[in-house]
Structures are given as C-alpha cells and as structure tokens.
Homo-oligomer: A and B are copies of this chain.
C-alpha cells in the first residue's frame, strides 16, 4: 500500500516547527506558516480570526484551523498575503527570507510525509492553490501534481503500480502548468485531447490507458513549448517556484482587478498561496473516492448531511458531472468506518464553526482527508430554517442568527419567483425581450397592455402586464390592476418604480425599448410584442420575456422561520437604549410603512409595520376623482370650485376614516397635497402635438384647446423646484381647510365607531419657518374647532417633512411649529446633489455609477457624507430644541438596509418604507443596533 506520508505526530511537528522558527528568528519577517503554526498567527492578532484570514487567506486559514481541531487534512503550509503584496511591490521578486522559509516548510512536509519533492523513489507531489481573504473567481486557482517529471513519474509508477493514474496525473500537471502558469488557452490542450479520443474511438477519459496518457503527456509538453516558447520544466523546484509566482501575479490580472472593482474588495489585500500535499481519490474502485457535502440540506435547511460521492475519482469529476454521483450514504455501505468518521468530523466542524459547512473531501485508499471547509451557501428558505434550528439546538444565540441573515434573504421570501427550469428554457429559446433597471422585485406574468384604462379593463379577464414609455399619477389605476409593469424610461426612483415598490408590483424601468403606446406595440429592434401577448417580468433581475413563464408563489404567513426571526429582531429593537418615540421609551428604530389606502395599511400591518409614516393624499385624487381636483384648480366659477372642494372633502374624510380604522392604536402620518398641479392635467407636450396637428387640419377641439391653455399656464421649466408642497397649499389655501377637516373628521368618525385613531398631519417641502408659521396655527384651529364641535378628544400632531436642504439648516427654528420631522430623502438627495432623479437615473447618473465617479446611486442608498451630514445636523439641532420629538424617514431610503444602518446611528425614531420592504427593514433595523 502506498503510504503518502507518515502519521503526523505532534512531537515531530513541534520539532520541525521550532526549526522553522529558528530560521525565522534570524530574519525580519515571517512569510510562511505551516498548518500546525496556526496558533502563532492567532497569537499575533490576539485571536482575531478575521485578521488571521486576512494574513493566510480563507482557504489556508480554514485548513490550518481544521488541523488544529483534529480533522485530518493533508500536510501543507501557507505563504502569506503579505508576501504577495511585497512580491508585487518588488516587481515580481520574492521578498528576502521567503524562499528560505518556504524551503524549510517544504522540508517539514517532506519529513511528515516521508517523501521528497523530486525524489524518484519517494516523490512528494503537492498542489499550489491560491487563497484570498474572500474567494475571487477572477483569479487563477490551482496547479495540481507539482513534483511530477519523467523520472518521478516512473518512480511513482513503481510505488503505486498504477501507470494509468500516474500519467493521467502527469498530463494534468503539464496541462495545468501551461494554462495557469504560462497563460495558455486551455483549449490548446482540450482540443488535441478530443481529437485523440475521436481518433482512437474513446468516449470518456477513464477509458484511456497508461500508454495513451504517456503519449498525450508528451504531446502536451510539445504544445507547451510550441506555443509559449518555454519548455515544460522537469525540475520540480522550478515547477514549484513558477507556480507560486503565477498565483501571486494573478492578483493583478485585469479580470481580477475588474472583479474587485465590481465587488468592492480592496486592492491591497493580496492573495495567499497554499502548498498542500496531493491526495488521490482515484486510486481504486473500492477504497478511494472524492466528494462534496453540506452539513445540512442547502435547499430546505433540514438537518441531514447532504452530499455527493464518486468512487475512484478526483474532486473535479464530481463537479464536472461526467459520471453520475452517488448520495453520500452510499459511502456507509462500502466504507462504514470512513462514513462514521466523516459524519463525526462534519459534526465537529459544524460545532466548531457554529455554522452549516460546505466541505470537500477525498478518501485515498481508505483514508479520509478534508481538503476544504467553508460556510455553506444555501437558499433563503434554508437560511432561515438552519438559523432557527441552530438557535433551538443551542448552537448559536439569536443575535448570531440575525446577523447571518442578509436583507436579500428576506426579500427572496416575499416575492413570487419564476420556476428556474422554465426560465432557463425561455432564455435558451431566445425569449429574452428586454433588460432594464430592476426596480421592484418579484416575478409576474400576464398579457401586455399599453395604457392604464385598458390594463384595468383587461385585468378582469386574467393577469395583465402594463407597458408604458413612462408613468404618471394618471396611470396608477392601471398599475394597480396589473401584475407587473415595465417602462422605456426612468430610473429606480422614477414614478413607475416608486409606485410599483409600494404596491409590491414587480417592475422593470429604463429598458430603452421603443414603445408605441398608441399603436400598442413595443420592440427591441428584433422582437416585437403586441397588445395581448404573454410577457413575463422579472423585477428581481430586470429581465422581460416574451413568454409565459410559470411562477412559484410565497405567502408571508407560511414562512414561520422568517416570522420567528423577524420577531426576534423586534425584541432586540425593543430592548435597546432610549429613543424619542411615542410608544414607550425603551426601543430601537421602529419600522413604519408608506401606505395610501386602508388596504395598503392592512398589508403593512400584517408585515409588521408599527405605524404609517407617509400617506400620500394625492393618490386619492386619481381616477374618477381627478375631475374634481381639475375643476377646483381650473374653474373660474366660484360655485363650481366650492362644489368640487366639498366633494373632495367628503371623499377624503371617508378615505381617512378607513385608514384610521385599519391602523387603530398606531400613528398615521398624512401628508398634505404635494405634487405640482400640472400632474393632474394631461401632458403639455402631448396636448400640444394633438392640438397643433388638428389646427393644421383646420380643426379645433374646444375641450383640448382649453386644456392646452391651462396646461401652458401651469407649465414650469423645473417643476421639481416649482409650485408644489407647502407652496402650493399656501397659494391654493382652500386645500388646507379641506384636507385638515377631512383628516380630523375622519379620525372623529373612526373614534365614534370605537377605534383609536392617532392622526399626524404633515406639511411637505418646507424650507422656511414662516411657511409653517402660516399654516400650523390654521390647521390647529380647524382641528380644535372640529373636536370641540364633536365634543371629543383625539391627540393629533402637526409636523413637517424635511426634504429641502435649507430645512436641515434651520431645523432648530422649525421645531417651533413642527411637532415631528420626517425626512423625504428622495427630494433631499435631488436638491443636495442637484440631480433631477427622473432625468439623471437614465442618463449621466448611470454613467457616474458605472465609471465609479459615484460609489453608488444616491437614490438607492443614502449619501452619508453629503446628504447624511445634513440629516445629522437636522436631527441634532432639532432634538436640541425639542428633545422628545419623533424624527423619521419616509423616502425611498427607508427600505434600504445600508441607509437604515445610517439612520439608526443618526438617532432617528423610525424608518417608513413600502409595505413589502417592512420585513427587510425590521431585520436591518435590528442589525443596525447589534454590536
């Protein structure tokens, strides 16, 4: 039997370690750590595991750790990431001392295994593996079988008695060396191999015999020389040295740099190199093999070892899927001792790491080696299941479980998904129609229609997808009726995106498709879709398909593990220090929701919202009701105006009553009318086209002519900075009375029915204290009078939205008239940056983010340096003059995890986001306060 190395014993290891240390003592810097030296690295950083990983890379650190806890790993050592950095700094030279230390470590491994690199009698074979702090697909990975040459191959044949195995290994070295160290295209080898197999009638690699591999090894060496001009080195030390250098150099290949840029991994980390003794799973059909396994089920999270195994195979064969793998239990039948050991060691690993592991292992002639372990990737579902289970098993505490959940895990649990197989098929069949900004996640499928009313109408007959050049408040009825939507224009915070997220409707914007909504046709230049065609919208990836792709639905109430964890999150938030909120002083960031209707609010409440942070009253002026608002705005007749206003008051009172009933016992912030009035009129440009074309024809449509005149009158060159928010209600003062009355009367009605309303009235777009001074007393008086008239008491608050930079600069003043603040971070970001989000997100902002001029889209994640500074100033100065006031966020950022962390640190009381983001926000709010 081939004994690849003698049994490691700690005396030998310690002796050898001392030798290495004495070598190092004479030198300035330690570049090499044997796996058994892990404690020294740990001591260096006082046990900070993260720093050890930074030094040794993830793979090296874990191999050493396994060694330390008594798991069998092949002997080996790690050359540090510091060495990589120094090597690169020196322009491709090993730093002083490294080569000596590396040779010393090699000597130790040789002694441990009883073999020697390049010794024809007892040749040591090693693998050279890269291993950065974080796994990086952009880099070279592994050179296997270093140490083989014509002579050691012969020697190995003698020892193993298996020349087929030896020469297969040898040609793998030649191929790997050429591809990875010398940078040749792997196809340069694979193509001749395929031709060879064809020529001799072989189908699978394992049909080739020793003589075939010997011939191919020679052929591969010739290919290497022909193409690279470099002879494959027969000197194993040369192989070893060149492989290490190649791994170091791979840190700076363009692909790796690009990958780091995309993923935000810093350039200065460097990669480590792991030199690991080769073990072979392909040394027999009975007692050798290789496998990968998860310590729990990665699909459903069940507590059962889940893995695949192949007898007489090497690691890559399992992954390649060439042969059918066996379930891990098959091992029990054939090698029950190995299986038992494997199960024990898996448990040991899980207990040690306190996390589900994903391991690679090899059995060489009945001996089990672990080659790698790492925290296991799993589905979101499995993530929640394993975390809850581990807490219940006592393996981890709740805090740890929460920290390990990512916001996207929560997201995944809430949105319907496409069936992955059907999706794959659709892509293969070329059904991909368009791609844009993934604006609201989830999968939706239905027949496509191109205008709101049609969508609403057709939705009665089956699921509908809405397709528009862009959307306006006028389109909301259609958006509401549709299962999904996509637009040609707009960015992640365009009207379509914001409303879709609020409704939880999957949405893709900014696809750049050519959409003719009048003709009912859209095209990407190749494929065309027409009214009534089936399309599928993937709001998670931003893809649109001209196909009907099946979806898999999810229900929140069924997700018991998710609900359990969110419950824990709420508990932690409630335990944390003092905040200025109304429902008790001892809790963390609360999560409220943005909701405009009772239906919306009920869903938000189901998702765990503890209040409504923003009810946009303008959404109540849409559809049939738009005509009343138009009359109020436009009519010259005082009587008509008044009637319209009376009608609106009546309708809004009912709306608010329902909202207060839905949210009984919880606060509801209602914002006064905010958007510019022209949004309630048809688009000016479109009207101009219609009217002037008609005029050209010598015709006049009186109604359109009138509307055009009105739209022209309302036209502003920069509506975002125009007559809206508080400015609008100051000019159209009757709106204040109408809305304040509707809100308070709605609350009174709800109370009369036995509910407990908690109304808060919010004045938007305030920039100067006098704007509040103008309105607050008026609203207050209306409220007081109404309550007195109804002989009832309801606590109400009047506050302001903070969305103008100036408001942040004078927040101390504003508290004189505002009982609460709520940041509108969309507008605040627009004005602080001077970006019109609708224009920018499809335009220069896209380029800015792509080119790295901006670290991220500030409309997605709050700009902490600029906008954040204003927010902090506002909170600090607001609280200085009114310490107990509620301060929240009701902009888009309220649902963004990174922003939530910032808001929590800034001392806000709550974040308010669309209902569907509430679960994510509950997680993020908790994570923000966990140490």
Interface residues in chain A, defined as those with a beta carbon under 8 Å from any beta carbon in chain B:
684-685, 688-690, 692-698, 716-723, 727, 730-731, 765, 767-768, 770-771, 774, 803-806, 809-810, 827, 830-836, 838-840, 843-844, 847-848, 851-854, 863, 865-867, 869-870
Most buried by B among A684, A721, A730, A835: A721
Q: When chains A and B are docked, how far (Å) is the Cα of A838 from the Cα of B774?
A: 24
Task: Tell me if B723 and A721 are in contact (CB < 8 A).
Answer: no
Give A698's nearest chain B residue, CB to CB: B696
Q: When chains A and B are docked, how far (Å) is the Cα of A831 from the Cα of B727?
A: 15
Closest chain B CB from A679 CB (angstroms): 11
Task: Tell me if A827 and B834 are in contact (CB < 8 A).
Answer: yes
Q: Contact partner of A731 among B765, B847, B866, CB < 8 A?
A: B847
Closest chain B CB from A195 CB (angstroms): 46
Q: When chains A and B are docked, how far (Å) is the Cα of A827 from the Cα of B869?
A: 20
Q: Contact partner of A719 among B718, B722, B806, CB < 8 A?
A: B718
Closest chain B CB from A481 CB (angstroms): 26
Task: Tell me if A805 and B834 are in contact (CB < 8 A).
Answer: yes
Closest chain B CB from A366 CB (angstroms): 60
Q: When chains A and B are docked, how far (Å) is the Cα of A381 from the Cα of B730?
A: 45
Q: When chains A and B are docked, how far (Å) is the Cα of A844 from the Cα of B774?
A: 14
Q: Given A689-B688, A721-B834, A844–B695 Cβ distance below 8 Å?
A: no
Task: Tell me if A844 and B730 are in contact (CB < 8 A).
Answer: yes
Q: When chains A and B are docked, how far (Å) is the Cα of A694 from the Cα of B834?
A: 38
A718-B720, A721-B840, A809-B865 known; 20 new pairs, CB 8 Å cut-off, are: A688-B692, A717-B719, A718-B836, A718-B838, A720-B721, A721-B721, A721-B830, A730-B848, A731-B847, A765-B834, A767-B833, A768-B833, A774-B853, A805-B831, A805-B834, A805-B866, A806-B833, A809-B869, A831-B832, A831-B834
Q: When chains A and B are docked, how far (Å) is the Cα of A684 from the Cα of B683?
A: 14
Could you name 6 residue pairs across A and B whose Cβ atoms are closer than 8 Å? Answer: A722-B840, A723-B844, A770-B854, A771-B853, A774-B851, A805-B866
Q: When chains A and B are docked, how far (Å) is the Cα of A838 from the Cα of B723?
A: 12
Task: Tell me if A716 and B839 are in contact (CB < 8 A).
Answer: yes
Q: When chains A and B are docked, how far (Å) is the Cα of A692 from the Cα of B694?
A: 8
- Taking CB atoms, residues of chain B closer than 8 Å to A723 are 839, 843-844
- Taking CB atoms, residues of chain B closer than 8 Å to A834 are 721, 765, 767, 803-806, 827, 831
Task: Tell me if A870 and B809 are in contact (CB < 8 A).
Answer: yes
Q: When chains A and B are docked, how far (Å) is the Cα of A770 from the Cα of B848?
A: 9
**What are the 8 tightest A-B residue pairs by CB atom distance, in nearest-first order?**
A696-B696, A718-B836, A721-B836, A806-B866, A692-B692, A693-B696, A696-B697, A716-B839
Task: Tell me if B867 and A727 are in contact (CB < 8 A).
Answer: no
Q: When chains A and B are docked, how far (Å) is the Cα of A767 from the Cα of B805?
A: 14
Task: Tell me if B838 and A717 are in contact (CB < 8 A).
Answer: yes
- Taking CB atoms, residues of chain B closer than 8 Å to A718 are 718-721, 836, 838-839
Q: Contact partner of A692 among B684, B696, B843, CB < 8 A?
A: B696
Closest chain B CB from A316 CB (angstroms): 43
- Taking CB atoms, residues of chain B closer than 8 Å to A810 are 865-866
- Taking CB atoms, residues of chain B closer than 8 Å to A692 are 688-690, 692-693, 696
Closest chain B CB from A770 CB (angstroms): 4
- Taking CB atoms, residues of chain B closer than 8 Å to A727 are 844, 848
Q: When chains A and B are docked, how far (Å) is the Cα of A835 from the Cα of B768?
A: 12
Give A813's nearest chain B residue, CB to CB: B865
Closest chain B CB from A221 CB (angstroms): 48
Closest chain B CB from A805 CB (angstroms): 4
Q: When chains A and B are docked, how far (Å) is the Cα of A688 from the Cα of B688?
A: 7
Q: When chains A and B are docked, how far (Å) is the Cα of A805 from the Cα of B830?
A: 10
Closest chain B CB from A200 CB (angstroms): 55
- Taking CB atoms, residues of chain B closer than 8 Å to A848 are 727, 730
Closest chain B CB from A871 CB (angstroms): 11
Give A852's nearest chain B residue, CB to CB: B770
Q: When chains A and B are docked, how far (Å) is the Cα of A688 from the Cα of B685?
A: 8
Give A699's nearest chain B residue, CB to CB: B696
- Taking CB atoms, residues of chain B closer than 8 Å to A854 are 768, 770
Q: Contact partner of A836 among B693, B698, B716, B838, CB < 8 A?
A: B716
Give A727's nearest chain B residue, CB to CB: B844
Closest chain B CB from A14 CB (angstroms): 53
Q: Given A688-B689, A767-B866, A722–B836 Cβ distance below 8 Å?
A: yes
Q: When chains A and B are docked, how far (Å) is the Cα of A695 from the Cα of B717?
A: 26
Closest chain B CB from A704 CB (angstroms): 13
Q: When chains A and B are docked, how far (Å) is the Cα of A282 from the Cα of B717?
A: 67
Q: When chains A and B are docked, how far (Å) is the Cα of A847 from the Cα of B804?
A: 19
Q: When chains A and B are docked, how far (Å) is the Cα of A916 from the Cα of B827?
A: 38
Q: When chains A and B are docked, how far (Å) is the Cα of A811 from the Cα of B587?
A: 37
Q: Given A832-B809, A867-B806, A853–B770 Cβ distance below 8 Å?
A: yes
- Taking CB atoms, residues of chain B closer than 8 Å to A844 are 723, 727, 730-731
Task: Tell me if B721 and A835 are in contact (CB < 8 A).
Answer: yes
Q: When chains A and B are docked, how far (Å) is the Cα of A731 from the Cα of B851?
A: 11
Q: When chains A and B are docked, how far (Å) is the Cα of A685 from the Cα of B723?
A: 20
- Taking CB atoms, residues of chain B closer than 8 Å to A720 are 717-718, 721, 836
- Taking CB atoms, residues of chain B closer than 8 Å to A866 are 767-768, 805-806, 809-810
Task: Tell me if A833 and B804 are in contact (CB < 8 A).
Answer: yes
Closest chain B CB from A899 CB (angstroms): 17
- Taking CB atoms, residues of chain B closer than 8 Å to A865 are 809-810
Give A773's nearest chain B residue, CB to CB: B853
- Taking CB atoms, residues of chain B closer than 8 Å to A832 are 767, 804-806, 809, 831
Q: When chains A and B are docked, how far (Å) is the Cα of A550 from the Cα of B848?
A: 57
